[in-house]
Amino acid sequence: MVAIFLSRAAPKKSAMKQSHLFTKTRKEAPTDEVAQNAKLLIRAGYIHKEMAGVYAYLPLGLRVQNKIKQIVREEMDAIGGQELIMTALQSKELWEKTKRWSDEVVDVWFKTNLKTGGEVGLGWSHEEPIAEMMKGYISSFRDLPIFVYQFQTKLRNEVRAKSGILRGREFVMKDMYSFCLDEADHTAFYNRTIDAYMRVYHRLGIGEDTFVTFAAGGAFTKFSHEFQTIAETGEDVIYIHRAKKIAVNKEVLNDETLKNLGVSRSELEEVKTAEVGNIFNFGTQKSEDLGLSYKNEKGEAIPVWMGSYGIGITRVMGLLAEKFSDEKGIVWPESVAPFRVHLVSIVGANGEAVKKEAEKLYQTLTDKGIEVLYDDRDLRPGEKFADSDLIGIPTRVVISEKTMKEGKLEIKDRKTGTVSMLSESDLFKLL
């Protein structure tokens, strides 16, 4: 029995044979798809289009999504965040309390009816439910501060869903909420979050192109902060000062803002961007509306100071696919690539030796915990290389009769296109 179990043990998560991967690459994206990110991701087999603005994440795509989440998770945990997950179905009565159930106020609601009567909303945001829930956990000043976050599928009835996964009707967001004693505590956490967000974007490879941007919104302060990344196909326009790392959204670009920031309009450059994150100071407005308060040392009831902090996980994935791509396909940054190595065997007439050698290297990589996708399929070299370029794994390792004769491996760096012949030990040094 034991032997049978062992032989059937699931392959390690870090390794996969391409012959086992059910997805295939495609020459053409669906004709109704206009967004570059979705075209690339569909062709390479990362996502499946269910309908406009609604995409499924296939094995390769899920690996990328999980890597992005993990980076975000580590940085949120590092500033004291506690992960939870709220519900997708939400109470109408709750949103009525803050006057946000109405479609005139919130224009992205999906709503549905219960068979037993009554309406529920499909979560487009979780500010209200999470604040309401916290009433059960916050009573004294000793309970604060609290920082909670989740990765949640948000449902929004977006009017335009033509940007692929940059704007989904169903998409994954990381949303965090802070519950603080007062403005000073809130501000300290808010500023720590800005730093944590920038660490996230740097780890994702877009730190240099991402600007903390003054934008409208925020109950008590005039501003909210958006995190905007320069992108050809971005839907937003912002004004930046590259050297001073100052950025202002069009909506708040006025004399007063410019004066406060100490820059003049002529110093600013107009750029197209995608909003990859957004953070808000709610003040005590929402707490007052919902009756979320704590007792201070004197026993007085004080409304909790709240903030909210979002990152568009799937939007970031689409942005990376678009930003890091060339005419051949995607060029993933190492930190989010589905695998570290794409091992490709080129099997000619006397293929057995090559197969054996490739199999051996696959095993060694797996044992070392290096994530590897092994293209073990019986296809022409040209097809395998084109697929490899399209999928976009950082390092391609080719084993063929030619490389075996030389006693080396052919290594191609997807980003630079550089090809080199390395020994196995040099490959491991490189990795």
Binding site for ligand ATP (CB under 6 A): 156, 158, 167-168, 171, 173, 275-278, 310, 312, 314-315
Smallest separation, CB 171 to ligand ATP (Å): 4
Smallest separation, CB 93 to ligand ATP (Å): 22
Sheet-wide strand order for 419-422: 15-17, 372-375, 341-345, 395-399, 409-413, 419-422
Measured CA distances, 15 to 254, 329, 363, 387 (Å)? 53, 22, 9, 18
Measured CA distances, 384 to 237, 302, 342, 398 (Å)? 40, 64, 10, 10
Smallest separation, CB 23 to ligand ATP (Å): 22
Measured CA distances, 5 to 2, 8, 20, 330 (Å)? 5, 5, 20, 38
Pairing of the two strands 110-113 and 82-83: unpaired
Q: What are phi and psi of 181, to 5 degrees?
A: -70, -45
Smallest separation, CB 230 to ligand ATP (Å): 15
Task: CB nearer to ligand ATP: give 203 or 396.
Answer: 203
Task: CB nearer to ligand ATP: give 16 or 311.
Answer: 311
Residues 6+ apart with CB under 8 A from 300: none
Residues 6+ apart with CB under 8 A from 45: 21, 23, 24, 25, 26, 58, 60, 61, 391
Task: CB nearer to ligand ATP: give 158 or 387.
Answer: 158
Smallest separation, CB 204 to ligand ATP (Å): 12
Smallest separation, CB 276 to ligand ATP (Å): 5
Smallest separation, CB 278 to ligand ATP (Å): 4
99 in the Ramachandran plot: left (φ > 0), alpha (ψ -120 to 50) or beta?
left
Task: CB nearer to ligand ATP: give 273 or 403.
Answer: 273
- The residue whose two tokens read 């020459």 is 27
Smallest separation, CB 42 to ligand ATP (Å): 17
Task: CB nearer to ligand ATP: give 68 or 341.
Answer: 68
CA distance 342 to 107: 44
209 in the Ramachandran plot: left (φ > 0), alpha (ψ -120 to 50) or beta?
alpha
Smallest separation, CB 248 to ligand ATP (Å): 16
Task: CB nearer to ligand ATP: give 107 or 326.
Answer: 107
Task: CB nearer to ligand ATP: give 79 or 391.
Answer: 79
Task: CB nearer to ligand ATP: give 173 or 306.
Answer: 173
List, in sequence order, the alpha helices (H) in 152-251: 183-203
3-state secondary structure of 305: strand
Measured CA distances, 312 to 103, 267, 271, 424 (Å)? 23, 30, 20, 39
Smallest separation, CB 315 to ligand ATP (Å): 4
Give the number of residues written for the chain.
431
- The residue whose two tokens read 């290297």 is 361
Task: CB nearer to ligand ATP: give 18 or 308.
Answer: 308
Task: CB nearer to ligand ATP: give 276 or 390.
Answer: 276
Distance of CA 220 to the CA centre of its chain: 29
Other C-beta atoms within 10 Å of 67: how many?
21
Task: CB nearer to ligand ATP: give 246 or 279.
Answer: 279
The encoded tokens of residue 9 equal 């043990």
Measured CA distances, 82 to 140, 145, 176, 382 (Å)? 19, 12, 9, 48
Measured at CB, which residue is nearest to ligand ATP? 312
Smallest separation, CB 4 to ligand ATP (Å): 45
